[in-house]
Amino acid sequence: MLFVTGLCTDYVSDRGQVVRAAQDVSFEVPAGKLFTLLGPSGCGKTTTLRSIAGLERPRAGEIRVGNDVVFSKDVFVPPNRRGLGMVFQSYAIWPHMSVFENAAFPLRVASKRISRQELRERVTRVLKTVDLADLAEREATKLSGGQQQRLALARALVMEPRILLLDEPLSNLDAKLRERMRFELKRLQRELGITTVYVTHDQSEALALSHSIAVMNGGRIEQIGSPREIYERPHNQFVADFVGSTNFLEARVLDREGDYYRVSSQIGGMKVRATEPLAQEEIVTISVRPEDIELTETRKDGENAWEGTVHQKVFLGESVDFVVTIGEHQLQCKAHPSLRTRVEEAIYLRMDPEKCVALKRS
């Protein structure tokens, strides 16, 4: 449904410097899917989204919506003719209009005239979808944050856009509300089956909502994949570190063993997985997530098993975080709160080779 190819967008910052915000960004979003651009602030995700919207003019590349080219070397369709819906970070609810008028605006300015009756029906329907039908006549400024967010969504949906663009729509809500709106948004997107591009810096939001995720850094896409792929098979250190927390271990590749590799790491010999083929003697970084390290008070035998000492421990209610020392190296581990090993005591670790991912050095 959406095809972005080789997109490059620069902009001039307030200080007059040219910022390379998006560089050679390419991806496609199949119809009905929710695609997330994830990355730290300044990584170019919002610029990419605004380029799709037509609010920024890219330097190079091509953007296609369905079969229509909306941007290429000599085509630039202005934002008001692209027929895309967008929810802004600030919601951008017009304070001088009622809830109903805000939602009706796209229909009122559309080039295709519709009857008053149809307009009322469509606006009411969309307000019902976001559960605001009762507040239609209220002044838009009298809405709570969550309600404003839903009104912004209603306004973006009312013209039945081909694609819905969401720019950090949950970042202005408090934590509790954010969690609820996350489910709400997911349900709505899945029910309406609307193709959606979602921008966020919050990895848990991205993992919870998306069909697929593009992790961006420094204007480039680092990896595109399903939430599970991104989390379990990161392609490089940046992705592994940005999405969730992880332990990094330096290692040297010894040899290959079927689907696995045997390496010599900072904490000794290990058996690991790799996303790309590795050469012998290659120096790699092993990423192991804290929750993938199994902790026990009894010695375990077999592959990837170590003995360590508890260095620090933090009780978090649903889990306990341990910092375990093996030799001179420290590892973060997450365990069930039933594990009560004390600081300075010995503890035994084991890692599933499947969960130890070898990352190539870049």
Residues that bind other proteins (CB under 8 A): 3, 5, 12, 28, 53-55, 64, 67-70, 74-81, 83-86, 88-92, 94-96, 105-106, 109-111, 141, 152, 155-156, 159, 165
Nearer to other proteins, 125 or 252 (CB): 125
CA-to-CA dists, residue 23 to 44, 179, 321, angstroms: 8, 32, 39
* Interatomic CA distance for residues 243 and 248, integer angstroms: 14
Strand partners, 2: 29, 65
DSSP 3-state of 7: strand
Contact 262, 219 (CB under 8 A): no
Q: Quick one: CA dihedral 339, 341, 342, 347, positive or negative?
A: negative
Tell me the closest approach of the beta carbon of residue 155 to other proteins, in angstroms.
7
Q: Which helix (H) or strand (E) holds 148?
A: helix 145-157
Q: Which two tokens mark 30?
A: 């199949």
Quickly tell me which residue has 């290692």 as its tokens.
Answer: 251
What burial letters (b/e) apply to 73-86, b meaning 16+ CB within 10 Å? eeeeeebeebbbbb
Tell me the closest approach of the beta carbon of residue 43 to other proteins, in angstroms.
20
CA-to-CA dists, residue 222 to 63, 120, 204, angstroms: 20, 45, 18
Nearer to other proteins, 106 or 146 (CB): 106
**Amino acid occupying residue 276:** E
Nearer to other proteins, 172 or 226 (CB): 172
Q: Which two tokens mark 55?
A: 């609010």
Tell me the closest approach of the beta carbon of residue 263 to other proteins, in angstroms.
37
Tell me the closest approach of the beta carbon of residue 208 to other proteins, in angstroms.
25
Nearer to other proteins, 3 or 260 (CB): 3
Nearer to other proteins, 151 or 286 (CB): 151
Tell me the closest approach of the beta carbon of residue 192 to other proteins, in angstroms.
18
Nearer to other proteins, 31 or 92 (CB): 92
Tell me the closest approach of the beta carbon of residue 218 to other proteins, in angstroms.
23
Tell me the closest approach of the beta carbon of residue 29 to other proteins, in angstroms.
11
Which stretches of the chain are DSSP H helices?
A: 45-53, 99-108, 116-129, 145-157, 175-192, 203-209, 227-232, 237-242
Nearer to other proteins, 142 or 228 (CB): 142
